[in-house]
Structure 1
């Protein structure tokens, strides 16, 4: 069992235990994005007033732009052999990294909860045990998969990529049979704010993967090409999400209220009844299981990274892994059960609001890794608050705070709309501001502050001597 259950957490994966190829990133991210929530996200572009044609084009632009940023993070995995968020200590300090980490952890508990409600409904329909039991069963399956770890997660991704792809091909055929897709796509009226809304929806979707994408590439051999990792990650994530979102946009354009009022019911009804319906419920649960496992595993890594910065912890026992994952599961399941009938819709608005925390972190991390440190980090020092990176790094923390604030005038959520949104036609461009401003500021402040950058990547304490 030791060879199946993952033994590593926030420590560096030794070269002797590296395995796999960059293609594994394609199947994982394809499977993670062929799922019902991505369908609903794509549908929003039409629900808010966009035509099917330009909504689909806008979704593609956003998936490619946001996916490229996300894939740049993925390319760090083989090089460093570390979970994504622990590399933030090089920018924010060993303890300062807890600032973006705290928001990330809240996000992933929230994603776990919202995903569990939707998947729990599908599990409840499959088992005829009801939503509450379905949520609990789904949460337990998620936690067990995350606890077993990396190998099982990638196996799940490979299965989901095939099963969900077949299901979406079938659903696409059924949609074409039911709706006049040619007529839907013939409407080419262009509205810039609505086009930018579609771009923002899909770009934000992709950016949300940034804080944990390298968690799933860190076991690749150190010799794995960074370009291969980048392109396979981008291809899987952009293709999977665009496929789901385009289906959602066309479904919303053709069905209108029938889709908006009951997305799961519409998808099941589109597919058919009997065994086909049961299969589609299974596909919905499988797609949500894949992404929920990523949220749980990423949340666990982020929680350990935040706490260990203060405890000086470099490794974690299997029992400790299980305890952290159980904590994420219990918190997420409690939120799901409490909110499944009432406040979950407003809670989703809160989660979207917290997405603003990802973009400045992403900008700072990428500028530091590729332009300042130029892929050279002292890995042992990432666990030493008295080492070259220190406990708190004021420049990155200041830029991060500015990055959060400059997004607010351009932000649109269910409970807050920034003052500069109306002049832009109601479009949320906060993610563009949240990437561009912190990236430029951090580069200006940090480009000459390179005394802490090693001459080469230092893998162990012995390498530093």
Structure 2
């Protein structure tokens, strides 16, 4: 190979300048945002070997951004310690730290600034991360990286002045540049060390100073807004996903700060999103995920309103009138029963919001993980019974109305059809779970409210206030009977289901507000309908017995307008479907809490099948409503009242939320048995059943304590069913006397 003659040889300075020009040409399109330079106070103390090791470690781990950041930090620190302004700045002392002097437009590219006003970025250490320990590990790169902005072509760029230093970048581009796909990220090039002290001689002036971008560390950026950009897998290299050359930023991009999160608010990755309606709910006994807990307290109103707004409540009001109550006594009994319902419904709602778990899972904290089997069996039996009653009521209402209107020659066919449609509709909604339940309940709440108003308007002409107010008062012991009946029909029927509909409440929402909304939504419809049923019965004494036994048929026989038949059927059917949805949905969790663990969806189907069979059996064997609501419900209400008292008492004692993992496995905060509560559940049930009575022959043994005392269980105080209220009181008092120490022990372990 021929050697070039001496005239074509270049000295070292020319070769270095050519190399710098080539590096500048390759790296001129890196997206950079100019910003205040931040330098670690100890970066200048690093030796060249330490810098090489630090950058090499970053490159070995494919962390190019960290390598650039570390190297730039060292260069800027060395520039600062050499008393030379960073990146084309004025002489030392022209500006205070953190300030920028006014720019000098007279400086030409490549000329030394005279220090009279060129822009100077002085170094500040006020907002740096924790300083590096001299004896500790090497520093790591800062996450405070600036975003990119629009690019200009190479022809539009103006060269920046170059200030020589032992280790100083060649220049600073005051704007950002759009990246090139898969272009290597350059390191900052050092100038050769000058043998003269900094500032003592004129710097060498390159013929065309290249533009080498400097990575400046900007103010902390919370998030970047990436505009639309065309990018396909062919445009992306496969080395490291977060390399700078994999970032595509549009020309109009600007950094956008993330809004501040209010103090105390829960932050969830991905943002909150409620459950979708037609996707089966995956959550079972475990706590509801925080990102799914988006419900407001007001949602509890319409979740409960539709389920308790059945026109069957009119029959309950007529039953109270049949007990001999006057209109004012009937209103007092109804109000007391609704008020008592606040305890199980409100406190159950609070417990569900605290834990995000079903009622019979939270109950394990009160009775122990093994001891809770007893109330769980009770809860399952109660829910299956009420589910069957609701289904039977839907079928019998459709049969009675069809016969009265002449739509069918007999009630059998429409009853069977209504039973089938009701169980299929309710079972399907309960199968999909909370997402669909919440939406269906909202629609049914609106429909039920409208239909209740229509029912009152259609039947108001049958109200006679003078005749109703003329009914004399009965013994006030009958008021206790009426209040217990309403309490059993409302509060105790739903006591063991209250947490299920509160599991999706926002953790930061008010617990007291949720309790009020839940009780208000569950209590207002029964109060209005029971009171109005009593008013209709008192205004039409001859029809009171009919209203108590078959409220739908009795309303039709009052001589309502012909157009009201369909709204009446909808008013009864939709509200019963709503109540049945809540019952089956809750019973599915209860079956899993018993230890079956089929999964919520399959447990719901099993419960729906049992309810269907029981409803068909009731339809074939029972004719009147009052025999149902005055017999079995009272017997079930006694142990449920004892459970509700114990559960409510311990909930009122608690100052901390439940320890969710310990509710799902043994060996945690909660023991296997809470013997005082388990024993009191049995004792209160035994005592309460001895102080109630039932008209059903197979429940004639109830009221045995009255008989021992020589009191007739079917007259006076014996017919008051005071045993339900006594069981509730015994349950409430027990935690106050025996449970305080245990609850405090649990809370210490929970902390």
On whether the aligned pair clears a TM of 0.5, the verdict is yes
Instruction: Give SS of 2:341's match.
Output: helix
Are 1:61 and 2:61 matched, yes or no?
Answer: no
> Over aligned residue pairs, what C-alpha RMSD do you find?
2.4
TM-aligned CA deviation for residue 426 of structure 1: 2.2
Distance 2:718 2:692 in 1: 12
Range moving further from structure 2, 279-288 or 178-187:
178-187
TM-aligned CA deviation for residue 412 of structure 1: 2.0
Distance 2:548 2:334 in 1: 18
Are 1:286 and 2:574 matched, yes or no?
Answer: yes
Say which structure, 1 or 2, has more relative contact order (CA 8 Å, 6+ apart): 1
TM-aligned CA deviation for residue 274 of structure 1: 4.6
Seen in structure 2, the aligned counterparts of structure 1 residues 457 and 177 have a Cα distance that, compared at 3 Å, is farther
Are 1:266 and 2:554 matched, yes or no?
Answer: yes
Distance 1:37 1:90 in 2: 36
Query: Among residues 498, 510, 520, which one is paired with 1:235 in the alignment?
Result: 520
The equivalences for 1:36-47 within 5 A come to 36-47=311-322
The equivalences for 1:25-40 within 5 A come to 25-40=300-315
Query: Among residues 351, 355, 366, which one is paired with 1:76 in the alignment?
Result: 351
Match of 1:462 in 2: none
Match of 1:463 in 2: none
Match of 2:394 in 1: 119
Match of 1:368 in 2: 650
Q: Contact between 2:386 and 2:493, CA under 8 Å: does it hold in 1?
A: no
The equivalences for 1:120-139 within 5 A come to 120-123=395-398, 129-139=413-423
Query: Among residues 154, 176, 192, which one is paired with 2:438 in the alignment?
Result: 154
TM-aligned CA deviation for residue 122 of structure 1: 4.2
Seen in structure 2, the aligned counterparts of structure 1 residues 271 and 388 have a Cα distance that, compared at 3 Å, is farther
TM-aligned CA deviation for residue 38 of structure 1: 2.2
Q: Contact between 1:40 and 1:245, CA under 8 Å: does it hold in 2?
A: yes
Q: Contact between 2:692 and 2:719, CA under 8 Å: does it hold in 1?
A: no
Distance 2:533 2:639 in 1: 27
Instruction: Give SS of 2:514's match.
Output: helix
TM-aligned CA deviation for residue 296 of structure 1: 0.7
Query: Among residues 330, 336, 339, which one is paired with 2:618 in the alignment?
Result: 339
Range moving further from structure 2, 137-146 or 160-169:
160-169
Distance 1:119 1:163 in 2: 17
Q: Deviations over 1:263-309 (max 9, x none)?
A: 1112234583554201210111101011111111111111111115x
Q: Contact between 2:397 and 2:572, CA under 8 Å: does it hold in 1?
A: yes
Seen in structure 2, the aligned counterparts of structure 1 residues 448 and 260 have a Cα distance that, compared at 3 Å, is closer
Distance 1:19 1:26 in 2: 15
TM-aligned CA deviation for residue 376 of structure 1: 3.0
Range moving further from structure 2, 19-28 or 343-352:
343-352
Are 1:387 and 2:668 matched, yes or no?
Answer: yes
Match of 1:3 in 2: 276
Query: Among residues 488, 491, 498, which one is paired with 1:213 in the alignment?
Result: 498
Query: Among residues 296, 299, 306, which one is paired with 1:24 in the alignment?
Result: 299
Instruction: Choose 1 or 2 for highest CA Rg.
Output: 2
Q: Contact between 1:96 and 1:397, CA under 8 Å: does it hold in 2?
A: yes
TM-aligned CA deviation for residue 45 of structure 1: 0.7
Distance 1:67 1:43 in 2: 23
Distance 1:134 1:450 in 2: 48
- Where does the alignment leave 5 or more consecutive residues of structure 1 unmatched? 459-465
Q: Which has the higher helix share?
A: 1
Are 1:434 and 2:693 matched, yes or no?
Answer: no
Instruction: Give SS of 2:658's match.
Output: coil
Match of 2:637 in 1: 355
Q: Contact between 1:39 and 1:248, CA under 8 Å: does it hold in 2?
A: yes
Are 1:400 and 2:681 matched, yes or no?
Answer: yes
How many residues are matched? 448
Q: When the two structures are superposed, what TM-score results if normalisation uses the length of structure 2?
A: 0.57
